Chain A
Amino acid sequence: MRFWLQRLGAAILLLLTVSALTFGAMNILGDPLFNILGPIAGDTENPENIALIEAAEAEYNLDKPLPVRWVIWLGDFVTGDFGVQFSEDGQPPVSDLIAERLPRTLTLLVMAQLMAVFISIPWALWSASKANRPVDRASTVLTFAMIALPNFALAVVLKYVFAIQLGWFPLAFTANDPFWSRMWQMVLPAITLAIPAAAVYQRLLRTDLITTLQEDFILTARSKGVSRNAVLFKHALRPSLFSFVTIFAINTGALIGGALIVENVFLIPGLGRAIVEAILREDFPVVLAIVMIVSAAFVILNLLVDIIYSLIDPRVRAA
């Protein structure tokens, strides 16, 4: 129990640090007053503008020292008030933006992971059964290639082949289209994310399978006459899935980063695009909110992995 409390405490400390760093960076290196008021912030001659400047400072607590502002922001944040979007007319709340964009990114991630899993598991089984034969070696080279090609380059290639030359997919994502139309528009971006992930999963699973196949109980099963393939499916797969599940969870974190690029290439209005736009426009509340969400996701994923792993390996708990 203490172990878990420690873990939780570490996680919270981590999130606080991340938020502090981001908050500090944006406020020190950027100019919040300018982002709120525009060029007027620099016009200190005009008394009307001075009044506006002072009003903005009061409203956004800009006259207070940085750590105090951070604490205020933190208090708001944990109670669900993410602030408002500085750079949008009418300053709609940040939570609106998140609510609009997060589902798209999640859809993308879910699709990508599903595809990766469906590709990698059968492939790994097949590879393990053909271990070290030429086809297996070729497949190993292929996985290398799949991981080596950067996601933006892969996105360009896929876009060229499938959207432009073959015309199977549209060039743009249209938010207003019916559900299935939008899902179809997400397929190509999801494939872009899925390919490297599938390669990673395949490699890991294949090796685990091969190792498991060396265990004694496999020998026993084989000597009893169970076919090689049955052995693979029924006996080897399950124990190998443990590390698979854990790498799956960890890789989700990597995919979040990949989604950022992919969304920008395929012009999908998700969180990835939102944060790039927000950074360029120095829209602090949006940047902070998205960074926190993503970091929290990482942290939760890691915790989950810890949980899973501790269930498997009791040694871990005896920290």
Chain B
Amino acid sequence: MRTRSTRRATKLGIAALVSFSLIAAACGGSDDDSSDSGDTETTEAADGSESTEGGDDSGDTETTEAEIQEDEITQDTVAPDDAVGDPVPGGTLRYGLEADVDGLNPTSSALSSPGLMMSQAVFDSLVAYDVDGNYVPYLAESVEPVDGDFSTWQLKLREGITFHDDTPVNAEAVQINFELQRADPLVGLAVRPYYPETEATTLIDDLTIQYNLLEPNAQFPKALTGQLGYLASPTWVAAATEDPTLNQQPVGSGPFVFDTRSADSVTRFVRNESWWNGSAFLDAIEFVPVTDPDSRSDLFLNGELQAMQTSNPATVEDLRSEESVQNIIDETGEETFLMINSTVPPFDDIRARQALTFATPKQQYLDLITLGVARGADQMFIPESKFYNPDVVQEADMPDEALALVAEYCAERGSEENTLLGTTTCSDGKINIEYQWSGPSVVGTQTADLMNQNWGNAGFNVTFDELPQDDQIQDAALGAFNVVLWRQFGAEDPVNDRVWLGCDNIGVISLNWPKVCDEARDTLMAQGAASTDEAERIGIYQELSANINAAYTYVFLNHTIWDNAFDENTLGVCDRVAPTGEQLLCVTNGRNWFDSIWINE
């Protein structure tokens, strides 16, 4: 029989494995809608995003950021007539997800996009984003800094709310959730750098909890809009620690209650009749994982599913050409890029990194792999974002310059050792590197072939290493890679992406995958967190983009294009309203909420 301690260790271990794989959002086939695509939801990497229409095939829009929201959504939305009428309760929504979900415990499983989608049905977040990107208290009644000091925040909950199992929603519940997240070996990696060892949180009264940060963060509440802000019943979480199979049966406070999970992971939720924020319209939601994107859109177009998510460019293109489909397109999430490890030869030398960057066939990649559907990326912000820096351009498609740099590097450092390959850094005047991606994935193989073609002509000998996803993530975390294909930076507010970039996040297991520690960068990010002046923050993050660009550890390829598609009778997804009346965000990183959706028969 297992002892309690070992079982917990195991649970954490397994959760760690799962959570790790999902934290990292490693993607071999970046536009492959397989279970490879994960999400960067953890701790402060809260995200939300503005829905943005990608436009036509050219994929450019010129409207300003604030206006995009309303225009684009209604453009794609089929507004039948005004005689649609008011929302009516009833109906079951079958939603096609891109992958299966293992567990729905926000304190122990870092959740991927499908997992977060389901979480948004069963949990409430403490804080939410409105359509303008401001934070709005949601489950919490208020989140205020104490005496204007942005390193101390008090969060006050609403009275009289209970979880689905009648446990009260109180400050103690919040604290329990927080402590469990912090204690998780992997999720905790993103929490611990920002809090003291003890007294990270203080219970002020039954409904009020105080967060004691190490450094001021004016955007702190935004950290509670994502996974870290999903409040789970402490009774359930405690039980799940004993019996990890309970991770599949989440208990939150949200508009829907977990009902059943059947063979092959079809998970069903039913309406919560005693929800604190009114009542959802749908009777039930069934989440159906369909890993193959073509099958998923097939089922959707045949009416077997009423809604689906996809980030596969070909599918997005198809869905957008269907008249009766409402597409909510979102490009403000992650970017796909090549990530270069700067701690081991040859890429510890900036010339080698530059050479690889120049040798990368970005245009061909956009044409042939993302089919012109996803937009090219130069930095982590899309052009419509206020933080966008128009002077930062991702260099690529310059093979001659690459060759020159390779020659220079090899002449000087060609006889060092590439520890990954066990060869010298250069052979026959070409730099030896290993390219990793997660597979088996057909798109991943195509990408690898494309890179190889071009890098090979520009001075590199490329060895392929296609690994199962878990192995790939391990290698990335431990720094055992030369260059990988990766996906990251999905946070709505860049303050929450610092977990991938800071010196604090480097360790034996490192969320700062390229292990770049740059004091200047850290200073910038700290300033960005502490400042409340929008103009100042814009300047800071523009500088950050320039800093990242100059480090040559990321070769940005494209912005991920997410499509949440609904059939013509499923309405209201963007009609979410906060208790205080603000219009709330519609979709973020490929997922939406469910409390305002209704079915028009």
Contacts and interface: CB of A to CB of B under 8 A. Distances in A.
Interface of A: 34-40, 42-46, 48-49, 51-52, 55-56, 58-59, 86-92, 100, 170-172, 174-176, 267, 269, 280-282
Interface in B487-527: 507-509
B14 A89 contact: yes
A37 B477 CA distance: 14
A273 B440 CA distance: 13
Contacts of A92: 245
Contacts of A42: 474, 478, 508-509
Candidate in B17, B262, B477 with the most chain A CB atoms within 10 angstroms: B17
Given A49-B185, A269-B264, A59 B10 contact: yes
B16 A37 contact: yes
A267 B185 contact: no
A88 B248 CA distance: 11
Contacts of B470: 38, 87, 281
A176 B14 contact: no
A267 B478 CA distance: 33
B474 A39 contact: yes
Interface of B is mostly: helix
B528 interface: no
B18 interface: yes
Contacts of B440: 280
Interface residues of B, number: 50
B9 interface: yes
B17 A267 contact: no
Contacts of A40: 13, 16, 185-186, 509
A182 to B, nearest CB: 11
A172 B299 contact: yes
A99 to B, nearest CB: 10
Interface in B220-279: 243-248, 262-264, 266
A90 B244 contact: yes
B18 A52 contact: no
A36 B11 CA distance: 10
Nearest to A55: B9
A61 to B, nearest CB: 12
21 contacts: A36-B13, A38-B18, A38-B474, A39-B473, A39-B477, A42-B478, A42-B508, A44-B508, A45-B507, A49-B185, A52-B185, A89-B109, A91-B10, A170-B298, A171-B292, A172-B295, A174-B290, A175-B262, A176-B262, A267-B295, A282-B468
Contacts of B248: 89-90
B27 interface: no
B198 interface: no
B13 A38 contact: yes
Contacts of A39: 16-17, 20, 186, 473-474, 477-478, 509
A38 B264 CA distance: 24
B397 interface: no
A76 to B, nearest CB: 13
B7 to A, nearest CB: 8
Interface string B1-42: 010011001111111111011000000000000000000000
A171 B295 contact: yes
B509 A89 contact: no
A154 B251 CA distance: 47
Given A34-B474, A90-B102, A281-B468, 4 more contacts: A40-B13, A46-B508, A56-B10, A174-B299
A86 B477 CA distance: 20
